[in-house]
Amino acid sequence: MHIIVSGKKRKVADGLTVAQLLNSEKNDLPRYVSVVTKREVLIDPNDQDQALQDGDTVEFIYRGES
Protein backbone atom coordinates (compact mmCIF):
# COMPACT_ATOMS: atom_id res chain seq x y z
CA MET A 1 0.00 0.00 0.00
CA HIS A 2 1.05 3.63 -0.32
CA ILE A 3 1.05 6.32 2.35
CA ILE A 4 2.46 9.83 2.53
CA VAL A 5 4.94 10.45 5.34
CA SER A 6 6.02 14.03 5.95
CA GLY A 7 5.07 14.96 2.39
CA LYS A 8 6.81 12.00 0.70
CA LYS A 9 4.96 9.10 -0.89
CA ARG A 10 6.14 5.73 0.44
CA LYS A 11 5.27 2.14 -0.31
CA VAL A 12 4.81 0.16 2.92
CA ALA A 13 3.61 -3.28 3.91
CA ASP A 14 -0.12 -3.82 4.32
CA GLY A 15 -1.08 -3.74 7.98
CA LEU A 16 1.81 -1.51 9.06
CA THR A 17 0.93 0.00 12.43
CA VAL A 18 1.55 3.54 13.59
CA ALA A 19 4.01 2.24 16.21
CA GLN A 20 5.94 0.26 13.58
CA LEU A 21 6.16 3.31 11.33
CA LEU A 22 7.37 5.46 14.19
CA ASN A 23 10.03 2.91 15.12
CA SER A 24 11.21 2.71 11.51
CA GLU A 25 11.67 6.49 11.41
CA LYS A 26 14.42 6.28 14.08
CA ASN A 27 13.10 9.22 16.08
CA ASP A 28 15.38 10.56 18.80
CA LEU A 29 12.51 11.29 21.22
CA PRO A 30 9.68 8.90 20.30
CA ARG A 31 7.76 9.44 23.52
CA TYR A 32 7.46 13.14 22.71
CA VAL A 33 5.97 12.64 19.26
CA SER A 34 2.36 12.91 18.17
CA VAL A 35 1.19 11.48 14.87
CA VAL A 36 -1.51 12.94 12.66
CA THR A 37 -3.19 10.67 10.13
CA LYS A 38 -6.06 11.64 7.86
CA ARG A 39 -8.44 10.26 10.47
CA GLU A 40 -7.14 11.50 13.83
CA VAL A 41 -4.36 12.83 16.02
CA LEU A 42 -2.61 10.10 18.02
CA ILE A 43 -1.03 11.57 21.11
CA ASP A 44 0.92 8.45 22.12
CA PRO A 45 1.55 6.39 18.97
CA ASN A 46 3.96 4.05 20.79
CA ASP A 47 0.97 2.50 22.52
CA GLN A 48 -1.11 2.30 19.38
CA ASP A 49 -1.54 -0.81 17.29
CA GLN A 50 -3.70 1.06 14.80
CA ALA A 51 -2.99 -0.13 11.27
CA LEU A 52 -2.43 2.53 8.66
CA GLN A 53 -4.63 2.46 5.59
CA ASP A 54 -3.79 2.91 1.93
CA GLY A 55 -3.67 6.61 1.14
CA ASP A 56 -3.12 7.78 4.72
CA THR A 57 -1.12 10.96 5.16
CA VAL A 58 1.09 10.88 8.24
CA GLU A 59 2.76 13.90 9.80
CA PHE A 60 4.95 13.75 12.89
CA ILE A 61 4.57 16.60 15.38
CA TYR A 62 7.53 16.86 17.76
CA ARG A 63 6.64 18.27 21.16
CA GLY A 64 8.98 19.60 23.82
CA GLU A 65 9.34 17.87 27.18
CA SER A 66 6.54 18.55 29.61
Q: What is the pLDDT of residues 34-45, one digit of tens each?
A: 677 776 776 665
At 44 the pLDDT is 63
Range of the domain at 22: 2-62
CA dist 55 → 16, 22, 39, 62 (Å): 13, 17, 11, 23
pTM of the full structure: 0.71
- Evaluate if residue 60 carries a pLDDT over 60: yes
Number of domains present in the structure of the chain = 1
Q: Pick the more confident residue, 6 or 14.
A: 14
- Evaluate if residue 2 carries a pLDDT over 90: yes
CATH code of the domain containing 30: 3.10.20.30
Share of the chain above pLDDT 90, in %: 17
